[in-house]
Amino acid sequence: MNNIEKWLGDVRSDEFLQGRFDMHVHTTTSDGLWSPTDIVRLAKERGLSGLAITDHDTLDGLAEAAEAAEKMGVKLIFGVELSTEVTEADEPYEVHMLGYFPGLELPDAPQLLARLREQQQSRRGRGLKMVEKLAELGMPLDTGFLQEYAENGSVGRGLIARKMLEAGYVQTREEVFSKWLGQGCPAYVPHQRLQPMEALRLVQASGGMAVMAHPAQAAHDELVPQLVAAGLNGLECRHPDQPAGALQEHYLQLAASLGLSVTGGSDCHDSGLGDFTTSGAELLKLFKIK
Ligand SMILES: [Zn+2]
Ligand SMILES: [Zn+2]
């Protein structure tokens, strides 16, 4: 209990139980507008009890956020949002998996970090492969731009599309995807993405809790019981795509019927911090703190 007190404070107090935690927040470490320090400051200004930093496929912003949170007296939950894909379906679809790690120390997550690095390399490699295919198809692109992006982030199809437009190979962005880079097209190279089950295992192997993010975006509710069978801990029921109303009710009921913890988060990239939250009581349930 001592460690939990150090981390979350007096979890039996009304202040904690009724506290509001925004459990889904992005920073400049992925595609957010604010640095980890600035977003922690903003959380304090908005009167939040705490927040989870959940950048896409990286834990890199967490150390800075932890330092800021300690200074400012904001409770920080270490998190991540993993991009995964269900490829066995008729139409492959994307699922985002949130991972939350208890405690004041950065998660010890060697397997997860190794897999994220591998994924990033394959994403970079994927862009290069598509550029090679385009060259074979008579559309060479200056590859200087790839190096520049490979150093900072991923080389996605959006960037390649822009270069094709600039080179005059196509007239519109739509044409790029319908003729060349869309799934099944001559220059398309498939992703090597995480599967949701693998993401769940990686989070839990690092002592974390796995929560399916914004289930309305995947819109494949049949996946949820399968994830529960694999050990899923929670469902993000409150989210900008699932505002108060019928859809949110639907997910709250689904979570209840499957015995899942409930979370809420704003998915703040540049606005809306604190608009959707998780109560302290819900946080205790998620982390199985008795
Ligand atoms: Zn997401
Ligand atoms: Zn997100």
Domains and CATH numbers, the chain: 2-107+207-286 (3.20.20.140), 117-181 (no CATH)
Contact 164, 171 (CB under 8 A): no
pTM of the model: 0.83
Write the DSSP string, 222-269: THHHHHHHTT--EEEEEBTTB-TTHHHHHHHHHHHHHT-EEEE---BS
127 pLDDT band, cuts 50/70/90, is confident
Residue 252 has pLDDT above 60, yes or no: yes
Of all helices (H) and strands (E), which one includes residue 50? Answer: strand 50-53
Query: What is the model's pLDDT at position 91?
Result: 84
When comparing pLDDT for 63 and 127, which is higher? 63
How far, in Å, from the CA of 94 to the mean position of ligand 2? Answer: 13
User: What residues have their beta carbon closer than 5 A to ion ligand 1?
Assistant: 96, 213
d(CA 186, CA 181): 7
How far, in Å, from the CA of 165 to the mean position of ligand 1? Answer: 29
How far, in Å, from the CA of 256 to the mean position of ligand 2? Answer: 23
96 pLDDT band, cuts 50/70/90, is very high
The set of residues, in sequence order, having a beta carbon less than 8 Å from that of 3 and lying 6+ positions away, is 103, 104
151 pLDDT band, cuts 50/70/90, is low
Q: Are strands 93-101 and 209-212 parallel, antiparallel or unpaired?
A: antiparallel
Q: Helix (H, G, I), strand (E, B), or coil: what is residue 54? A: coil
